[in-house]
Amino acid sequence: MSEQRGLLIVVSGPAGSGKGTVLSELLRDGGYRYSVSATTRAPRQGEVDGVNYHFLSREAFEARIAGKEMLEYTEYCGNYYGTPRKEAEEVLASGQNLLLEIEVEGAANVKREYPEAVSIMLLPPSFAVQEKRLRGRGTETEEKIRERLLRAREEILHADEYDYVIYNHDGKSAEAVEDIRAIVRAERAALRRNPDVVKNYFA
């Protein structure tokens, strides 16, 4: 097999889609690297700097933007979020799959810069379920919840810009994980990603 660059996998899931659960299960498979984003939002309880996010001040984030150190970035509900470019490039060059968990604007920017990226939208089964999940989390104020629900409505309108859409039904996150595995397996085998298949076979 030829030396293949890693697959750049973009997963977006509006608040309440359960993407945290699904992606942490997927990461246990090995073979994937999670891109640790930078953000200016405050850490939530249990979040660790350098593991969940690189938590930065606005000034530090803006300096990175100016230095072109972000592969993409956006402002989401009043805070900056962005993907550090250097780590992403290193992982892809090493042949490992890189998982970006980012919102719709960032996903569109990644697709523009890396058309070979695979984009997946993870959705809750319905808006009603989404709202229930978000309130059940109990980590945010009512104002923040409303803001995130509003944003989630806008994000879902972009679902048809993605390569794949999958659903995370209550109690069935394992199925959503299996869907992502199947997508990745098929994408890695796609002929357009393996142009030297015949030449390599006889090598």
Q: Please report, as ranges, the residues that interact with ligand 5GP according to CB under 6 A.
A: 37, 41, 72, 74, 76, 81-83, 101-103, 105-106
Query: Which residue has tokens 């209550």?
Result: 170
**Least distance CB 168 / ligand 5GP (angstroms):** 14
DSSP assignment letter at 1: -
**Least distance CB 164 / ligand 5GP (angstroms):** 16
Cβ closest to ligand 5GP, residue 20 vs residue 95: 20
Cβ closest to ligand 5GP, residue 37 vs residue 187: 37
**Least distance CB 60 / ligand 5GP (angstroms):** 15
How many angstroms separate the CA atoms of 163 and 195, rounded?
21
Q: How would you list the strands of the sheet with 8-12, edge to edge?
A: 32-34, 97-101, 8-12, 118-123, 164-167
**Least distance CB 4 / ligand 5GP (angstroms):** 24
Q: Closest-CB residue for ligand 5GP? A: 106
